[in-house]
């Protein structure tokens, strides 16, 4: 029989922190520990993450590759006619908006730092990164957290669609939270140094077991920590 599950709207931070900690341990036991593979240039990460909005990773990466193949440099991408750039990244969808956002980002980097490079992010923690880049459309909580965590190895827990769903179902945050509220709450709940690992574990769990429409609760190893399962019986 499952134990009583804390209500994330009422539970203390300590209770929720312990719960997240147990889920981290369960995931690490089941899926094995993960290690940050090493720092990467953050500019490709920023542009790729912009391209992933509202599409699949394969489509976003295909658009990124086509763009680099066609233009060959950040400067050429920045100077390209907008309609032409939009047609080049069309496979990622929302091509006009994405072309706009990519050129605005490149223009900001050139104007602010004198070159097409986002290395300034290496010296920033999340709040400074948001204060510096957050005025650019599409370069907000999720995009910056993904780049700081996955390209620069910082301890920032990124909340995308899958992670957001899992955080709510498991009962880390209230069901009514939006992704930004979830991101803010999780900053205080994820054990130190575990942001990268937990994000990847939850993404994999979401893809393999905790599907958006029909979670496979009977096959799930996180049942004992899942508020959705306790409240719904897995139905
Ligand atoms: S028990 Fe069901 S809802 Fe909960 S995490 Fe597992 S698959 Fe998702």
Placement of tokens 């394969």 in the chain: 58
DSSP for 69-89, written as a single string: HHH-SHHHHHHS-HHHHHHHT
Residue 5 has pLDDT above 70, yes or no: yes
Q: Are 165 and 151 in contact (CB under 8 A)?
A: no
29-76 tens-digit pLDDT? 998 888 888 899 999 999 999 999 999 999 999 999 999 999 999 999
Domain 13-35+158-232: CATH architecture, name and number where available: Orthogonal Bundle (1.10)
Residue 93 CB-density burial (10 A; 0-12 exposed, 13-18 middle, 19+ buried): middle
User: Percent of the chain scored above 90 by pLDDT?
Assistant: 91
User: Domain extents for the chain?
Assistant: 13-35+158-232, 42-151
Distance 213 CA to ligand 1 centre (A): 11
pLDDT at residue number 1: 45
Whole-structure pTM value: 0.92
Asked if pLDDT for residue 183 goes beyond 70, the answer is: yes
In the chain, DSSP finds a helix count (H) and a strand count (E) of 12, 0
Ligand 1 center–CA 234 separation, angstroms: 7
Mean of all residue pLDDT scores within the chain: 95
Instruction: Check whether 3 has a pLDDT greater than 70.
Output: no
Fold classification of 42-151 is Endonuclease III; domain 1 (1.10.340)
Most ligand 1 atoms within 8 A of CB, residue of 8, 170, 175, 214 to mutate: 170
> What's the sign of the alpha-carbon dihedral 161, 58, 53, 159?
positive
**Mutate which of 166, 212, 215, 233 for ligand 1 pocket (most atoms within 8 A of beta carbon):** 215
Which residues neighbour 53 within 8 Å (Cβ) at sequence distance 6 or greater?
94, 98, 138
Q: State the pLDDT confidence band at 235, using cuts at 50, 70 and 90.
A: low
The separation between CA 233 and the C-alpha centre of its own chain, rounded to angstroms, equals 29
């Amino acid at each position: 029989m499952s134990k009583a599950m804390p209500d994330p709207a009422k539970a203390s931070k300590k209770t929720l922190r312990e719960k997240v900690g147990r889920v981290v341990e369960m995931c690490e036991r089941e899926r094995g520990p993960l290690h940050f593979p090493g720092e990467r240039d953050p500019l490709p990460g920023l542009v790729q993450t912009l391209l992933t909005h509202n599409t699949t990773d394969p489509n976003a990466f295909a658009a990124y590759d086509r763009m680099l193949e066609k233009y060959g440099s950040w400067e050429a991408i920045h100077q390209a006619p907008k309609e032409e750039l939009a047609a080049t990244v069309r496979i990622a969808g929302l091509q006009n908006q994405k072309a706009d956002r990519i050129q605005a980002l490149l223009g900001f980097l050139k104007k602010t730092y004198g070159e097409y490079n986002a290395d300034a992010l290496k010296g920033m923690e999340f709040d400074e990164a948001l204060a510096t880049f957050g005025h650019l459309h599409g370069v907000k909580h999720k995009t910056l957290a993904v780049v700081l965590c996955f390209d620069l190895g910082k301890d920032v827990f990124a909340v995308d669609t899958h992670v957001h769903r899992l955080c709510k179902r498991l009962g880390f945050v209230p069901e009514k939270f939006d992704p930004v509220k979830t991101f803010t709450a999780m900053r205080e709940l994820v054990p130190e140094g575990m942001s990268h690992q937990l994000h990847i574990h939850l993404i994999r769990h979401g893809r393999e077991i905790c599907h958006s429409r029909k979670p496979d609760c009977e096959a799930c190893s996180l049942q004992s920590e899942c508020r959705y399962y306790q409240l719904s019986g897995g139905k």
